[in-house]
Homo-oligomer: A and B are copies of this chain.
């Protein structure tokens, strides 16, 4: 085997630099990634998972992850809840579309309810738990968009019209709502 070696070059007929293999000319087209996830309710409680993996190991998140090839966003959101919390969920509607352009992510977050109350940690979770709204560990959330989604879920529950939310004004997902910047490797 030889060593991988790529250079940033603009392929002929293209307009942007891409990663091009120095050995064989293969062009690695990188595209923005789609994250799918759900805010999952069981009566008044909300399902959160404590992350067992980097980035942000030990912090709480909603079940979410990368959409796979040939998967619909809805199927992906259900799969992530199954993988991270052994949770069977029923999607209600699209809660929010967020974007975090610095890391080239678009997130589709759904409202959902648990089909069965039994949940348990999947391989990527240290712990899963149903939190009453007053118990949510706001200071130990993994990502800005988890904050946003939980706030928006509360607004939806309080009767906001069923129109998907977007990023809060002026927020691009680089900082937690307390102003602390996230390192790239934390996102």
A28 to B33, CA, bound (A): 14
B32 pairs with A94, CB closer than 8 A: no
Q: Closest CB-CB distance, A129 to chain B, in whole Å?
A: 26
- The digit string for A8-40, where 1 denotes a CB below 8 A from any CB of B, is 000000001000010111101011111000000
Interface size bracket, A side: 35 or more
Stretch in contact with the other chain, from A97-105, A113-121, A131-139 = A97-105
Q: Which of A44-52, A55-63, A68-76, A177-185 contacts B (4 or more CB under 8 A)?
A: A68-76
Copies of chain A in the complex? 2
With A23-B2, A24-B2, A31-B33 as given contacts, are A99 and B70 in contact (CB-CB < 8 Å)? no
Task: For A26, list chain B residues within 8 Å (CB).
Answer: 4, 6, 21, 26, 28
Contact residues, A68-95 vs B (CB, 8 A): 68-73, 75, 93-94
Query: Does A142 reach chain B (CB closer than 8 Å)?
Result: no
Known: A33-B31, A163-B163, A164-B94. A70 touches B102 (CB 8 A): yes
- Is A64 interfacial (CB 8 A cutoff)? no
CB neighbours (8 Å) of A31 from chain B are 31, 33-34, 66-67, 69
Q: At the interface, yes or no: A168 with Cβ under 8 Å from chain B?
A: no
